[in-house]
Amino acid sequence: MLIRLITVISLFKFMLLLLSGSNPDVALYRSILVFMVLFTVVYLGIFFLNIIRGESGAERSTVPEMNSNKAQTKEEG
């Protein structure tokens, strides 16, 4: 879905550049540049969000273990 949206945006940019009277080579270059930038930003954002979610999930799973360890030491001591 995101790749389609990025493609539509870059094609729209290409169309607007051609309608404005720009050279077709320059219009193609700029639309490809827009596609690459949008693709990179979106997918790096998804990658970093997955990393952040993974770290927050790891912290949640260790907290009950730490609490149970503290409870065991209180019972033993």
14-73 tens-digit pLDDT: 999 999 999 999 999 999 999 999 999 999 999 999 999 888 766 655 555 555 555 565
> Residues near 24 by Cβ (< 8 Å), separated by ≥ 6?
18
Write out the chain in H/E/C secondary structure: CHHHHHHHHHHHHHHHHHHCCCCHHHHHHHHHHHHHHHHHHHHHHHHHHHHHHHHHHHHHHHHHHHHHHHHHHHHHC
Instruction: Considering only the C-alpha atoms of the chain, give the largest distance between any 2 of them, rounded to a whole number of Å.
Output: 82
pLDDT at site 41:
95
pLDDT at site 62:
55
Is the pTM higher than 0.95? The answer reads: no
